[in-house]
């Protein structure tokens, strides 16, 4: 029988910011002092488990924290966290992604220049919560057009985006703001990593019989990627590891496509491919 063809997206695996954060954790873990991450380092339970087994703990705030070093994940953290850590003399390893850092700096500058700030994004996302703390002025998080009315009376607006927002939604919100605001400064802070991944996965989904999206079930960008591919290829399955694969999915399938969220490590992709090669169809 002819072997099933497997097409793996070129940009599958960690994005730049996640790779950098994981490398910083691994390097910091070589030191003697105990190491913690502020929340799970990434939205991938298998990687988080692996790090925990290597002795990397997780903390959620500084209230009861006594000693050790803390890694700030790629989403960044609240300014108040850095302040409190400094006051307590706690050593911080800052793994904030440079793209998120740049959005934080732009918010600081907009506040200084007397712009009120609109962040296009999800208000409960950790990156957005961190971004808000950098605004020394009024700030509004907008995800949908029905929230635009909250800022219609603002005269000078600075707009930035959560790094993982879609370009389409950013355009919709910005054009809504343009209809009501005299002065507006727009910074496109969308990270291309997620957009490029979506575009590549969409193309692959068009030419395969089944699409696998690998990544944490708790990862927003993996879920979004799976949803997008499902619109093109009905046989799209979101899995976390090779254990989630079901042989029945692959009956009469000649070509399988694989893409991943930005927090999926290479070793999980390899395990999935290994299992696919072993499937008895
Ligand atoms: S998706 Fe983009 S902004 Fe987010 S961590 Fe990865 S590279 Fe950085």
The pLDDT tens digits for 95-107 are: 999 999 999 999 9
pLDDT of residue 135: 96
The verdict on whether 30 is a catalytic residue reads no
Confidence check: pLDDT of 1 > 70: no
Question: CA 50: distance to chain centroid?
Answer: 20
CA distances from 250 to 2, 4, 59, 162, 255 (A): 13, 9, 41, 37, 9
- The minimum-distance atom of ligand 1 relative to the CA of 21 is 5
Nearest residue by C-alpha to atom 7 in ligand 1: 17
Mean pLDDT of all residues in 122-140: 95
Q: Which of 52, 87, 91, 127 is labelled catalytic? A: 127
Question: Which atom of ligand 1 is nearest to 163's Cα?
Answer: 3
Average pLDDT, the chain: 94
Mean pLDDT, residues 201-215 taken together: 98
Q: What is the pTM of this model?
A: 0.91
Compute the half-sphere exposure of residue 41: CA atoms within 13 Å on the CB side of its CA: 31
CATH of domain 99-190: 3.40.1010.20
Q: 72-84: per-residue pLDDT in tens?
A: 999 999 999 999 9
Instruction: Provide the pLDDT for residue 160.
Output: 98
- What is the distance in A from the centroid of ligand 1 to the CA of 55? 25
Q: Best substitution site from 17, 94, 161 to test ligand 1's pocket, by max atoms within 8 Å of Cβ?
A: 17
Pocket lined around ligand 1, Cβ cut-off 6 Å: 15-18, 74, 97, 99-100, 163-164, 191, 193-194, 262
Strands 5-8 and 255-260: parallel
**Predicted confidence band of residue 108 (pLDDT cuts 50, 70, 90):** very high
Ligand 1 centre to CA of 198 (Å) is 14
How many A from CA of 42 to the centre of ligand 1?
11
Separation CA 57–CA 278 (nearest Å) = 36
pLDDT at residue 31 greater than cutoff 80:
no
Q: What is the pLDDT of residue 217?
A: 96
The structural architecture, per CATH, of the domain 16-96 is 3-Layer(aba) Sandwich (3.40)
Q: Is 177 helix (H, G, I), strand (E, B) or coil?
A: helix
* Edge-to-edge strand ranges of the sheet holding 35-38: 56-59, 35-38, 69-72, 91-94
Q: Who wins on pLDDT, 3 or 124?
A: 124
CATH 3.40.1010.20 fits 5-13+193-278, yes or no: yes
Which of ligand 1's atoms lies nearest the C-alpha of 15?
6
> What is the Å distance from ligand 1's center to 160 Cα?
15
Averaged pLDDT for residues 169-195: 94
Q: Which atom of ligand 1 is nearest to the CA of 99?
A: 3
Region 181-194: what's the mean pLDDT? 94
CA distances in angstroms from 82 to 40, 74, 87, 108, 222, listed in the order given: 18, 15, 9, 15, 29
Among 255, 153, 132, 131, smallest CA distance to 204 is for 255
Partnered with residue 82 across adjacent β-strands are: none
- Which residue puts its alpha carbon closest to atom 5 of ligand 1? 17
| Residues 52-77 pLDDT 10s | 999 999 999 898 888 899 999 999 99
- Domains 5-13+193-278 and 16-96 alike in fold: no
Domain ranges in the chain? 5-13+193-278, 16-96, 99-190
């Amino acid at each position: 029988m002819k072997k099933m063809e497997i097409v793996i997206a070129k940009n599958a695996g960690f994005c730049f910011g996640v790779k950098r954060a994981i490398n910083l954790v691994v390097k910091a873990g070589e030191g003697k002092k105990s190491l913690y991450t502020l929340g799970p380092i990434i939205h991938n339970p298998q990687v988080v488990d692996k790090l925990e087994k290597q002795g990397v703990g997780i903390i959620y705030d500084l209230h009861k924290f006594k000693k050790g070093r803390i890694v700030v994940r790629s989403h960044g953290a609240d300014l108040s966290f850095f302040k409190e850590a400094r006051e307590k003399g706690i050593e911080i390893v800052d793994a904030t992604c440079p793209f998120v850092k740049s959005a934080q700096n732009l918010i600081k500058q907009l506040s200084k220049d007397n712009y009120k700030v609109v962040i296009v994004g999800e208000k409960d996302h950790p990156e957005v919560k961190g971004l808000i703390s950098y605004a020394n002025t009024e700030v509004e998080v907008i995800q949908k057009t029905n929230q635009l009315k909250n800022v219609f009376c603002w005269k000078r607006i600075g707009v930035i985006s959560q790094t993982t927002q879609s370009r389409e939604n950013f355009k919709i919100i910005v054009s809504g703001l343009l209809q009501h605001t005299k002065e507006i400064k727009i910074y496109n802070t969308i990270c291309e990593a997620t957009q490029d991944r979506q575009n590549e996965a969409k193309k692959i989904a068009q030419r395969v019989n089944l699409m696998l999206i690998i990544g944490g079930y708790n990862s927003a960008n993996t879920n979004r990627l799976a949803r997008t591919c499902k619109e093109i290829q009905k046989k799209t399955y979101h899995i976390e590891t090779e254990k989630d694969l079901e042989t029945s999915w692959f009956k009469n399938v000649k070509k399988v496509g694989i893409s991943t969220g930005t927090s999926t490590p290479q070793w999980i992709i390899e395990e999935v491919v290994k299992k696919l090669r072993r499937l008895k169809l």
